[in-house]
């Protein structure tokens, strides 16, 4: 069996295979639902209803999508330049830590100034956290997959230490949690009384800005060139290492915003379960979006919808909500297969 590249995939093919991927994903999930003793169609209907069937469901999906847009953008930007940032989870937590440090009353500024200041500091912290692995990669050839992945655990333990120590809320009844951010450091809710917050708007804006950077600027051109072929990019005079640094700064900053938005927009304080793996799910989101920044928004809402919908479904149908994890994982695998089939033809002998 071998793969032969197709010269130029037709429009029909580029549409057919991704659609096939979605069908295949539901087919796999349907088998599992059958195994759990329920009817696939009613379960899928419940998932859809739970994700978008009411105003509450829809807002909940968008709320869940917000951090995924940030981490998805962070991964999309980095992967485009072939900087394998697996550390969005760590950058998210660092962003949350900075939000707590600056947002619990340390800075006596009014909200319109305080929030941008915190955002800038958050982005700088996330950017610096990814700069380390990027420097190690360009100077010593240390694999950034290893360094960024392991940093996730280091940072999580570091946050744990802070929450048991200097950042621990004295009024927290001994729980490892931080103080709550002051009112001026909170992102406003978009609809009074609902959970969807201004972080979603910032996420959409971040996606648009990232898209403009990738498509319209010299930096975006450099990042794509470095990602496709660093040797040729270097030959053409593109400063490859500097481009990788800039990519790291951008990617780390975007991922850190996820932590800021979760703390300042939704949770109000920092706990160790702030992120149920938003950093890792960001990789899935970015891949499903084919690394396109605007696609990241759609992919993040899709993935969030499946999670939110599966939670609701599991309450009423009794099928475990882990079906959501299976569906997202299957969607990733089938989508990657679909991309391959769009570009290559399989020869069986």
Partner 1 sequence: MSGFNRDMPSPEESFENAPVVLRLSGVTKRFGSLTANDAISFSVRRGEIVALLGENGAGKTTLMNILFGHYVADEGTVEAFGKELPAGDPRAALNAGIGMVHQHFTLAENMSVLENIVLGTESMWLIRFDHRAARTRIRKLANDFGLAVDPDKRVAALSVGERQRVEILKALYRDARVLILDEPTAVLTPNETEALFRTLKILVAEGLSIIFISHKLNEVMAVSDRVLVLRGGRLVGESVTSRTTRAELAQLMVGREIPPPSVAPATVGGPILTFNEVSTARTGTGTPLDKVSFSLNAGEITGLAGVSGNGQAALAALLSGIERPMSGSITIGGKPVANWSPQAALSSGIGRIPEDRHAIGTIVDMSVTENAISERYRTRFSRHGFLDWSAARSFAEEIIRDYDVKCPSPETRIRLLSGGNMQKLILGRALDSDPSIILANQPTRGLDVGAVSYVHQRLLQARERGAAILLISEDLDEILALADRIVVISKGRLSAPSARGERSVREIGELMAGHQDAALELAGAGNAA
Does residue 216 bind partner 1 (CB under 8 A)? Answer: yes
Does residue 23 bind partner 1 (CB under 8 A)? Answer: no
Does residue 344 bind partner 1 (CB under 8 A)? Answer: no
Window 90 to 109, contacts with partner 1 (CB under 8 A): none
Window 223 to 242, contacts with partner 1 (CB under 8 A): 224-225, 228-229, 231-239
| Residue 82, number of CB atoms within 10 A of its CB | 16
Does residue 146 bind partner 1 (CB under 8 A)? Answer: no
**Judged by CB, which is closer to partner 1: 26, or 221?**
221
Least distance in Å: CB of 282 to partner 1?
24
CB half-sphere exposure, 135, CA atoms < 13 A: 7
Q: How many residues bind partner 1 (CB under 8 A)?
A: 26
| Residue 79, number of CB atoms within 10 A of its CB | 18
Helix (H) or strand (E) holding 257: helix 240-261
**Judged by CB, which is closer to partner 1: 189, or 234?**
234
Does residue 4 bind partner 1 (CB under 8 A)? Answer: yes
Closest listed residue to residue 288, CA positions, set 92, 68, 41: 68
Binding region for partner 1 (CB under 8 A) out of 126-134, 174-182, 220-228, 272-280: 220-228
Cα-based angle 143, 144, 148 (whole degrees, multiple of 5): 135
Q: Pick one of 16, 26, 198, 221: the residue that binds partner 1 (CB under 8 A).
A: 221
Does residue 290 bind partner 1 (CB under 8 A)? Answer: no
Least distance in Å: CB of 220 to partner 1?
8
CB neighbour list of residue 52: distance below 8 Å, 6 or more residues apart = 58, 61, 305, 309
Window 159 to 188, contacts with partner 1 (CB under 8 A): none
C-alpha 156: how far from its chain's center? 17
Strand partners, 2: 347
CB half-sphere exposure, 204, CA atoms < 13 A: 8
Distances (CA, A) of 98 to 60, 66, 130, 154: 26, 19, 15, 16
Least distance in Å: CB of 8 to partner 1?
7
Does residue 218 bind partner 1 (CB under 8 A)? Answer: yes
Least distance in Å: CB of 230 to partner 1?
10
**Judged by CB, which is closer to partner 1: 112, or 141?**
141
The two three-digit tokens of residue 114, written as one number: 């305080």
- Which residue is associated with the tokens 């621990």? 168
| Residues at the site binding partner 1, with contacts judged by CB under 8 A | 4, 6-8, 216-222, 224-225, 228-229, 231-239, 347, 349
């Amino acid at each position: 069996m071998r793969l032969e590249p197709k010269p130029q995939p037709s429009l029909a093919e580029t549409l057919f295979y991704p659609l096939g991927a979605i069908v295949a994903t539901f087919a796999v999930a349907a088998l599992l639902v059958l195994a759990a003793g329920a009817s696939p169609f009613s379960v899928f209907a419940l998932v859809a209803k739970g994700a978008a069937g009411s105003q509450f469901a829809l807002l909940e999906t968008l709320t869940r999508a917000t951090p995924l847009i940030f981490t998805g953008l962070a991964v999309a930007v980095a992967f485009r330049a072939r900087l394998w940032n697996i550390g969005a989870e760590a950058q998210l937590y660092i962003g949350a830590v900075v939000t707590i440090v600056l947002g619990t009353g340390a800075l006596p500024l009014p909200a319109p100034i305080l929030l941008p200041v915190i955002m800038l500091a958050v982005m700088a912290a996330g950017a610096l956290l990814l700069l380390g692995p990027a420097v190690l990669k360009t100077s010593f050839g240390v694999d950034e997959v290893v360094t960024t992945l392991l940093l996730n655990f280091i940072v999580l333990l570091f946050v744990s230490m802070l929450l048991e120590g200097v950042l621990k809320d004295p009024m927290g009844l001994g729980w490892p949690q931080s103080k709550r951010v002051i009112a001026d450091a909170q992102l406003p809710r978009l609809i009074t009384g609902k959970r969807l917050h201004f972080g979603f708007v910032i996420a959409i804006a971040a996606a648009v800005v990232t898209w403009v950077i990738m498509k319209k600027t010299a930096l975006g051109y450099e990042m794509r060139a470095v990602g496709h072929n660093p040797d040729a990019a270097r030959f053409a005079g593109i400063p490859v290492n500097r481009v990788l640094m800039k990519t790291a700064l951008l990617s780390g900053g975007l991922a850190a915003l996820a932590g800021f938005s979760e703390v300042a927009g939704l949770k109000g304080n920092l706990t160790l379960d702030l992120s149920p793996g938003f950093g890792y799910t960001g990789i899935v989101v970015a891949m499903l979006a084919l690394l396109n920044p605007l696609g990241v928004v759609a992919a993040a809402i899709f993935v969030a919808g499946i999670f939110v919908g599966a939670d609701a479904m599991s309450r009423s149908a009794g099928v475990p909500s882990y079906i959501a994890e299976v569906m997202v994982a299957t969607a990733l695998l089938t989508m990657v297969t679909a991309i391959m089939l769009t570009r290559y033809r399989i020869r069986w002998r």
